[in-house]
């Protein structure tokens, strides 16, 4: 099997190293040699994490996808411009393509998958979600007897690292982000990590796999972790919760609810204990119940592990015809944010006057919102006091109406903080 590699950075270099290091083991699976016959890089003189010797390297990436001797192209450049043109060209040349490019699949997967199908080749992307964790394969094969009810994942290592540092070490946001960047986990544009865009790319892919729908990245509600204050982390802990940047997709009544947002989860759940740059995805199937998949979500050899697993499947011919893109993917209605039901954490800062708490709970009651927990903290120098409330399950639109009403009172000293809670039952 002759392969061409586009990009010899972290992931590409990792692929070369793992193919060298585990040559015999990989051969035992494929019974066929894997030859890297053509490699494209942006800059020939750049330092690399893998040896260059023996590699046929060019700066002309199109020479690789147009090389008639290349059977499979590994697109490991990233980004959505040149990478897209290269993948299209490779497919048009009837080559299978393997990519780790979540942004590209989330944004253009529908078009690229249908192009691949029309050329009778595979476009595979296990490495695009949760690095080396074989999550797409698990959904496609191991859970094939299940209707998937929901998925909840921590699928951005950088965001999880920042929240873990804030949680465990009282770190501030920018120091933790800088550390994640230095460790090579963050995206080229780190707003993709902290604003939840990277996690939304991955959630779009997971949802398609789980529910058999088109990739619908644009419709995912995405909220970043920038709004999380250290008080929220501390109050959540007192109430028995941990704040995670959670990506959730649920299927109910023919609609999908999908969002990436800071979320409180009970401390006792396994997901609450996924710390640092680690990723984890919890999946509820209607036969199997909940299953959890955990591992490093980024890194050279971690991601290479998933890329090479796809390559091995192509060589062994073990890809089933119902992989994503070969079955017909339909758009599926997305539940609009107003209609999403959740339990909520509310943090208010109120003037310390008699009747304030009664007024707040009366307004919530007016909207049929019940209070499950309430916690009032010491009055500060300005005679204001923080109040934290956990509601029962309520529609977002109803909660927002009650909150708007509470905020009209002059006892309300700042914008009320609202964070959803997922119990993951
Ligand atoms: N920036 C991503 C993360 C890298 O932090 O998870 C892996 O996709």
Beta carbons within 8 Å of 241's beta carbon, 6+ residues apart:
264, 265, 266, 267, 272, 345, 421
pLDDT value of residue 421: 98
Q: What is the mean pLDDT of residues 83-107?
A: 98
**How many angstroms separate the CA atoms of 126 and 135, rounded?**
7
Give pLDDT, residue 337: 92
Q: Which of 59-68, 103-112, 320-329, 332-341 has the weakest average pLDDT? A: 320-329
> Is there a contact between 282 and 184 (Cβ–Cβ < 8 Å)?
no
Note whether 2-128 and 340-421 share their fold.
no
Instruction: Please report the pLDDT score of residue 409 as a whole number.
Output: 94
SS3 46: coil
- Choose which residue among 187, 191, 195, 306 to substitute to test ligand 1 binding: the one with the highest number of ligand atoms within 8 A of its C-beta: 187
Query: What would the pLDDT profile of 34-66 be if each residue is shown by its tens digit?
Result: 999 999 999 999 999 999 889 999 999 999 999
Q: Is the shortest distance between the CB of 156 and ligand 1 below 6 Å?
A: yes
- Lowest pLDDT segment from 111-125, 204-218, 327-341: 327-341
> Band of the pLDDT at 324, cuts 50, 70, 90?
low
Q: Which CATH number fits domain 135-296: 3.30.70.100, 3.30.360.10, 3.40.50.970, 3.10.20.600?
A: 3.30.360.10
In this prediction, residue 89 carries a pLDDT of 98
155 neighbors 203 (Cβ within 8 angstroms): yes
Q: What is the three-class DSSP state of 51?
A: coil
Could you tell me which residue, 298 or 220, shows the higher pLDDT? 220
pLDDT at 170 over 90: no
> Within 13 A of 255's CA, how many CA atoms are on the CB side?
12
Tokens of 143: 């859970």
Q: Domain boundaries in the chain?
A: 2-128, 135-296, 340-421
Q: What is the position in ligand 1's atom list of the atom closest to the CA of 193?
A: 1
Judged against a pLDDT cut of 90, whether residue 416 lies above it is answered with yes
| pLDDT tens digits along 130-160 | 999 999 999 999 999 999 999 999 999 999 9
Q: Is the distance from the beta carbon of residue 157 to the nearest atom of ligand 1 less than 6 Å?
A: yes
Say how many Å lie between the CA of residue 248 and the centre of ligand 1: 17
pLDDT tens sequence across 355-403? 999 999 999 999 999 999 999 998 899 999 999 999 999 999 999 999 9
pLDDT at 325: 65
Q: Which atom of ligand 1 is nearest to the CA of 192?
A: 1
Read off the pTM. 0.95
Exposure string of 289-305, with b = 16+ CB inside 10 Å and e = fewer, is: eeeebbbbbbbbbbbbb
12: which residues sit within 8 A by CB, 6+ positions away? 5, 6, 39, 50, 74, 76
DSSP summary character for residue 164? H
Per-residue pLDDT, averaged over 316-336, amounts to 80
Let me know: does 86 contact 5? Beta carbons within 8 Å. Answer: no
State the pLDDT at residue 330.
85
Tell me: pLDDT of 323 over 80. Answer: no
pLDDT digits (tens, 9 = 90+) for 65-93: 999 999 999 999 999 999 999 999 999 99
Q: Which CATH class is domain 2-128?
A: alpha beta
Query: What are the tens digits of pLDDT across the range 188-219?
Result: 888 999 999 999 999 999 999 999 999 999 99
What pLDDT, in 10s, does the model give residues 260-319?
999 999 999 999 999 999 999 999 999 999 999 999 998 999 999 999 999 999 999 888
* Residue 130, ligand 1, Cβ within 6 A: no
User: Over pLDDT 90: what percentage of the chain?
Assistant: 85
Class of residue 127 by CB neighbours under 10 A (exposed 0-12, middle 13-18, buried 19+): buried
Ligand 1: nearest atom to the Cα of 186: 1
Looking at domain 340-421, its CATH architecture is 2-Layer Sandwich (3.30)
pLDDT, tens digit, 9 for 90 and up, residues 338-354: 999 999 999 999 999 99
Q: Residue 359 carries which DSSP code?
A: H
Position 186 confidence tier, pLDDT thresholds 50, 70, 90 = confident
193, 225, 276, 295: which to mutate for ligand 1, most atoms within 8 A of CB?
A: 193
Q: Which helix (H) or strand (E) holds 290?
A: strand 289-296
Residues 6+ apart with CB under 8 A from 199: 153, 155, 156, 159, 222, 245, 247, 260
Ligand 1 atom closest to Cα of residue 156: 6
Element at 37 (helix H, strand E): strand 35-40
Q: Report the separation in Å between the CA atom of 124 and the middle of ligand 1, taken as the mean of its atom positions.
A: 19
Which of 101, 156, 203 for a ligand 1 pocket mutation test, highest count of atoms within 8 Å of Cβ?
Answer: 156
Residue nearest to atom 8 of ligand 1 (CA): 298
């Amino acid at each position: 099997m002759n392969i061409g590699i586009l990009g010899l950075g972290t992931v590409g270099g990792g692929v070369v190293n793992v193919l060298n290091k585990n040559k015999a083991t990989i051969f035992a699976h494929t019974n066929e040699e894997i030859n890297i016959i053509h490699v494209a890089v942006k800059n020939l003189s750049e330092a690399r994490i893998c040896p260059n010797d023996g590699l046929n390297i060019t700066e002309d990436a199109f020479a690789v996808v147009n090389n008639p001797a290349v059977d499979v192209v590994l697109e490991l450049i990233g980004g959505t411009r040149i990478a897209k043109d290269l993948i299209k060209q490779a497919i048009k040349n009837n080559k299978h393509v393997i990519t780790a490019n979540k942004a590209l699949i989330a944004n253009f997967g529908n078009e690229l998958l249908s192009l691949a199908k029309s050329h009778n080749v595979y476009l595979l992307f296990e490495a695009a979600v949760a690095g080396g964790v074989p999550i797409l394969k698990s959904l496609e094969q191991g859970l094939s007897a299940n209707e998937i009810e929901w998925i909840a994942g921590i699928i951005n290592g950088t965001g999880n690292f920042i929240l873990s540092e804030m949680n465990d070490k009282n770190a501030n946001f920018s120091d933790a982000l800088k550390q994640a960047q230095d460790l090579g986990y963050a995206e080229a544009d780190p707003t993709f990590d902290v604003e939840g865009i990277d996690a939304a790319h991955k959630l779009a892919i997971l949802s398609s796999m789980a529910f058999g729908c088109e990739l619908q990245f644009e419709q995912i509600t995405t909220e970043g972790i920038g709004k999380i204050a250290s008080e929220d982390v501390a109050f959540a802990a007192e109430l028995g919760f941990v704040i995670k940047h959670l990506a959730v997709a649920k299927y109910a009544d023919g609609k999908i609810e999908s969002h990436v947002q800071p979320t409180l989860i009970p401390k006792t759940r396994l997901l609450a204990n996924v710390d640092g740059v680690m990723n984890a995805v919890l999946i509820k199937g209607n036969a199997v119940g909940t299953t959890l998949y955990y591992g490093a979500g980024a890194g050279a050899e971690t991601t290479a592990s998933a890329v090479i697993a796809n390559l091995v499947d192509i060589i062994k011919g073990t890809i089933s015809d119902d992989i994503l893109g070969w079955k017909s993917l339909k758009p599926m209605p997305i539940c609009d944010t107003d209609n999403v039901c959740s339990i909520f954490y509310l943090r208010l800062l109120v003037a310390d006057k008699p009747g304030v708490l009664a007024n707040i709970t009366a307004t919530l009651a007016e909207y049929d919102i019940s209070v499950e927990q309430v916690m009032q903290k010491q009055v500060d120098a300005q005679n204001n006091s923080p109040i934290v409330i956990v509601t029962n399950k309520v529609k977002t639109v109803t909660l927002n109406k009650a909150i708007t009403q509470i905020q009209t009172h002059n006892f309300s000293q700042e914008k009320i903080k609202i964070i959803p809670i997922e119990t993951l039952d």
